[in-house]
Structure 1
Amino acid sequence: GADVSISKSPPQGTDIQRHYLQGFVAQNLHITHAFYTHPKILIAALNGPAVGLSAALTGFADFVYAAPHTFILTPFSSLGLVAEGGSSRAFVSRLGISKANEALIMSKRITCEELVSVGYVNGVMDVKPGEDDKFLELVLREVDDRLGKHLIPESLLGIKKLIRRPERDLLDAQGVAEVFGGLDRFVSGVPLWKGAVWWLYWVFEHKFAIAGTWYVIPSCGFALH
């Protein structure tokens, strides 16, 4: 799920740039790098809305399964921020430039139907909101069927490495550009008050549970993340 809480202002007298360098920049860069360099097969199971950085990171999943009521929302422009989580590259690659512009520049919600139409998700499970156990069961059944013992683990990992290889240097550079762009915005002070307004709007206008599950397919069996 997503932590959509608003960052607290630095204590009075704090070096603002250093504060966000040690917090936002370091943490954001680290988690994004961890996702796009992960050597094993990553599966995202989205049984509800994915918001912000959590939504952005789904762009690095090797396979994405969703519920019909799923949507992704990256409201960075509504918060006075810039794109983060590698989304300025991953979304363009996975959604296409038109939908990526809608998601990132317009802060538009991208529905499950739209995600299916552009090939962002690999499958939609027939579940209703609140049927979390059923959703998980269906996803695990699908994964076990498609990524079962009939496949050679070393081949899976070797193929993933080849697929991801051309993007590695580009993502390294783009990740740095994103976090320093975000740093500039935080130093300006805009995201703090804009974020508070947006969060209040979200709380009062939406009743969705932020839901999602990450899986890693190791060389044998599953690890739930």
Structure 2
Amino acid sequence: MIITKTENRVRTITFDRAQAMNAFNEALYAATSEALHDAAAEPDIAVVVLTGSGRAFCAGTDLQEMPERDTSVPYTEGARGFTRLMDTVIDFPKPMVCAVNGIGVGLGTTLLGFADLVFMSETARLKCPFTSLGIAPEAASTYLLPELVGRQNAAWILMSSQWITAEEARAMGLAWKVCAPEDVLPTAIRYAEQLAAQPIESLVAVKKAMRAPHVDDIRAALARENALIDELIGGPANVKALADFVAAKATPQEQ
């Protein structure tokens, strides 16, 4: 599910479900949370870099699992892997760098709100498809994105379900640097190593101080979003969107 590599006090965590565009299923949620917990606990790890295998950074939550869920349980109560990952990234004490090697959809975009630095391939694109799925945003994106990119840019990203190019993401402030595809991970690691050369306790102190004014607001946004998702999921727009998704997936296999 993931590949980890450590060099020069930098732990690189690679999402490795390339056949599913690195979409999060319960197993990948658990593996990512565990890898981040391990990196936080290891005294010789200073910085974490998140990236994806294949042509995607992360295609969000695996929608193929949604129709199979137990509808008697509120979605956000059943999504234990997502809940644990959110707790993990909110509390992650060390610098977190994202190297967006390819498309980022849903959580593949909103996860960037928790990153301290974001590097994007010039061919990568981002999308928050929540409205097209008939649901509400997640991962505290209704708080984090306005903070990062401004209210109007955030409104467009979260409401339109349209693709955002790497250059648009950089201009908005969602990405820090845009690189050639072959350079995005090496560049991210190079900058991560510069951070990792500093005392870990100082890096942790800086992140703690920067994060402190926002933690309560992030958790409150996450709770509001979860309530709205539970309200909308299973509604007519969501049911139709999931049915269309499943049909589109099935069609090539039937031909």
Which sections of structure 1, spanning at least 5 residues, go unmatched? 205-225
TM-score by length of 2: 0.68
Structure 2 alignment gaps of length 5 or more: 1-57
Letter in 2 for 1:84: E
Match for 1:147 among 159, 179, 195? 195
Amino acid in the other structure paired with 1:147: L
Q: 59, 64, 78: which one pairs with 1:6?
A: 64
Tell me the residue number matched to 2:24.
none
Tell me which residue corresponds to 1:181: 228
TM-score (normalised: structure 1): 0.76
- Determine if contact 1:95/1:119 at 8 Å carries over to the other structure: yes
Residues in 1 aligned to 2:249 and 2:124: alpha-carbon distance in whole angstroms: 16
Does the 8 Å CA contact 1:76/1:107 hold for their aligned counterparts?
Answer: yes
What is the identity percentage for the equivalent residue pairs of Structure 1 and Structure 2?
A: 25
State yes or no: 1:117 paired with 2:171. yes
| Counterpart in the other structure of 2:104 | 50
Displacement of 1:79 in angstroms is 0.2
CA 1:202 to 1:140, structure 2 compared with 1: closer, same or farther past 3 Å?
A: farther
Give the 5 Å matches for 1:30-179: 30-127=84-181, 131=182, 134-144=183-193, 146-149=194-197, 151-179=198-226
Matches within 5 A, 1:10-25: 16-18=71-73, 20-24=75-79
Q: How many corresponding residue pairs?
A: 193
Secondary structure of the corresponding residue to residue 145 of structure 2: helix
**Aligned-partner Cα distance in 1 for 2:133–2:66:** 14
Give me the whole-angstrom Cα distance separating, in 1, the residues matched to 2:157 and 2:249.
Answer: 17
Flag the structure with more relative contact order, 1 or 2, with Cα contacts below 8 A and sequence separation at least 6. Answer: 1
**Secondary structure of the residue that 1:192 maps to in structure 2?**
helix
Deviation at 1:22?
A: 3.5
* Aligned-partner Cα distance in 1 for 2:206–2:220: 23
- If each structure's strand is expressed as a fraction of its own residues, which one has the higher value? 2
Residue deviations 1:35-79 (CA, integer Å, cap 9, x gap): 122111111000111001221111110111111011210100000
Maintained 8 Å contact 2:98/2:118: yes
Check if 1:29 corresponds to 2:49.
no
TM-superposed CA distance for 1:203, in Å, is 10
Query: Structure 2 vs 1, CA of residues 125 and 39 (structure 1 numbering), >3 Å: closer, same or farther?
Result: same
Two-structure CA RMSD over aligned residues (Å):
2.5
